[in-house]
Structure 1
Amino acid sequence: MKTIEDLKNIKKATFQRVNQGTNRKTTRIVVGMATCGLAAGAEPVYDAIVDEVNKLGLTNVVVVKTGCIGVCRLEPIVEIIKPGEEKVTYVNMSPYKARRVIASHVLVGAVMKDYTIHVVQGKILNDYKIESD
């Protein structure tokens, strides 16, 4: 059985690894895995992301699951938060799109605007229109 002190240490270590705030050193990839995301295919998207991150040997990337991101009609949703940059939200993801996003955005820094719905400094990067692969 864990003590309260053990749980506090786990919380602190996890917080430092995942929520680094303004001192973030790793790229954080968040996949919406609420009921709506799972029904839309978020699990294969998550698996493709983890596989691609491992295949590319990206050690400075943390992939996490979260609950509802809030735009159910655009699920599966993936958010990428890179150090020193604004969050980019990718929508209507598929395993194929997820692998492309990792290779383009995470690996070389090129946002795939066709897959996004995101506002930067008051401007919409892309007025996303749902399309198939």
Structure 2
Amino acid sequence: MKTIEDLKRLREQLKSQNNLRHEGGIKIIVGMGTCGIAAGARQVMTAVLEEVARLKLEDVKVCQTGCIGMCEKEVLLDVVRPGEPRITYGRVTPADVPKIISEHVINGRIVAELAIGKITE
């Protein structure tokens, strides 16, 4: 980087990348605190990434978060669809991932037997 124009281009590029992480679209958030990892969060995260890639869900963003204090319910996975409440699923296993993605992420139907919370914003 040698000029102010280089800096401006970099700023716009980073701003665009940041917007992809924080604006619109569907988000899947996996709890990756030490409690989640001990309960199998790495395997759940891998299953989510593989299923999203397999289905070519380009509008779905996969994120991770730390512990939120419900360690006994790990592995936690949240689905956030625009304009809808954030749904938290608990005790998620890799085998649950295809159902959560097909039912909730794609079709908007909450998987009631795995849901443990709802956050309305």
TM-score (norm 2): 0.83
Letter in 1 for 2:22: N
RMSD: 2.2
Give the structure 2 partner of residue 116 of structure 1. Answer: 115
Q: Which runs of 5+ in 2 are unaligned?
A: 2-6
Q: In structure 2, the residue corresponding to 1:109 is in which secondary structure?
A: coil
Q: Summarize the alignment of residues 24-63 of structure 1 with structure 2, pairs less than 5 Å apart.
A: 24=24, 26-63=25-62
Letter in 2 for 1:42: A
Return the match for 2:22 from 13, 19, 27.
19
Instruction: Tell me how far apart the structure 1 counterparts of residues 46 and 118 of structure 2 sit (CA, whole Å).
Output: 27
Q: In structure 2, the residue corresponding to 1:117 is in which secondary structure?
A: strand
Does the C-alpha gap of structure 1 residues 83 and 99 become closer, same or farther in structure 2, counting only changes over 3 Å?
same
Give the structure 2 partner of residue 70 of structure 1. Answer: 69
Letter in 2 for 1:63: V
Give the structure 2 partner of residue 99 of structure 1. Answer: 98
TM-score (norm 1): 0.76
Instruction: Tell me how far apart the structure 2 counterparts of residues 79 and 59 of structure 1 sit (CA, whole Å).
Output: 18
Instruction: Tell me how far apart the structure 2 counterparts of residues 99 and 59 of structure 1 sit (CA, whole Å).
Output: 16
Instruction: Tell me how far apart the structure 2 counterparts of residues 52 and 119 of structure 1 sit (CA, whole Å).
Output: 23
Residue 120 of structure 1 and its aligned partner are, at CA, apart by 6.2
Instruction: Tell me how far apart the structure 2 counterparts of residues 41 and 89 of structure 1 sit (CA, whole Å).
Output: 16
Letter in 1 for 2:20: R
Verify the 8 A CA contact 1:69 1:77 in the aligned structure 2: no
Q: Which runs of 5+ in 1 are unaligned?
A: 122-133
Residue 110 of structure 1 and its aligned partner are, at CA, apart by 1.1
Q: Greater shift after overlay, 64-73 or 26-35?
A: 64-73
Instruction: Tell me how far apart the structure 2 counterparts of residues 120 and 34 of structure 1 sit (CA, whole Å).
Output: 20
Q: How many residues align?
A: 115
Instruction: Tell me how far apart the structure 1 counterparts of residues 32 and 12 of structure 2 sit (CA, whole Å).
Output: 26
Runs of 4+ aligned residues of structure 1 deviating over 6 Å after TM superposition are none
Query: Which entry has the higher C-alpha Rg, 1 or 2?
Result: 2
Give the structure 2 partner of residue 80 of structure 1. Answer: 79
